[in-house]
Amino acid sequence: MRRARNEFGAWLSVPEWSWFTTHTFRAEYVSRKEADRSWYSWFNSLRVAAKAKGLTPSCYGDKAPFYFRVVEYQDRGTLHYHALIGGAGDIRRLLFKDLWELSGYARVEAYDPQLGANFYVGKYLTKDIGNAGDIRFSHNLTQHLTNS
């Protein structure tokens, strides 16, 4: 298991990530459907901002922001997300922290490859698979895993 986590973390080090994020919810219970709706609304806002700043010609194209996201459950039983976000360019990350905090709490940190967030997120490949086991990624992540 440890070897798989390490290899997965190394694989996740290939893309050029912009941010490492954590997204929690204020509510005691949020369904996966509600949580997904909130997260994708937040991420789609980032896509729109990237297009408005001229970082991408399309909100959903190959050059649009991309992500790798995992689910974890807090001790209180509410899910939260950890994500690696790429393609954010010089978009103000604290603006997107504030945007998420309409729903709960967020950390939106500049990605530093020396801090190992790729390994932290990668551990969810094998961690508590029966309980969470929800790993999602954007349609355009693949090209960043092979072309970086």
Give the residue-averaged pLDDT of 8-25: 89
Instruction: Give the per-residue pLDDT at 121.
Output: 82
Range of the domain at 103: 2-147
Instruction: Give the per-residue pLDDT at 57.
Output: 93
Question: 0.75 cut: is pTM over it?
Answer: yes
The answer on pLDDT for 133 being more than 70 is no
The answer on pLDDT for 126 being more than 70 is no
Of the pLDDT bands very low, low, confident and very high (cuts 50, 70, 90), residue 140 is: very high
Total number of domains constituting the chain: 1
Q: What is the mean pLDDT of the chain?
A: 88
Cα dist. 131→10, 64, 77, 124, 128 in Å? 24, 31, 11, 11, 6
CATH number at residue 78: 3.30.70.1910
- The beta-carbon contacts of 44-47 under 8 Å, at least 24 apart in sequence, are 45/96, 45/99, 46/85, 46/88, 46/91, 46/96
- Structure tokens, 12: 């996740």
Cα dist. 44→88, 116, 139 in Å? 12, 26, 13
**pLDDT, tens digit, 9 for 90 and up, residues 78-125:** 889 999 999 999 999 999 999 999 999 999 999 999 998 888 887 766
Q: In angstroms, what is the C-alpha Rg of the chain?
A: 15
The answer on pLDDT for 5 being more than 80 is no
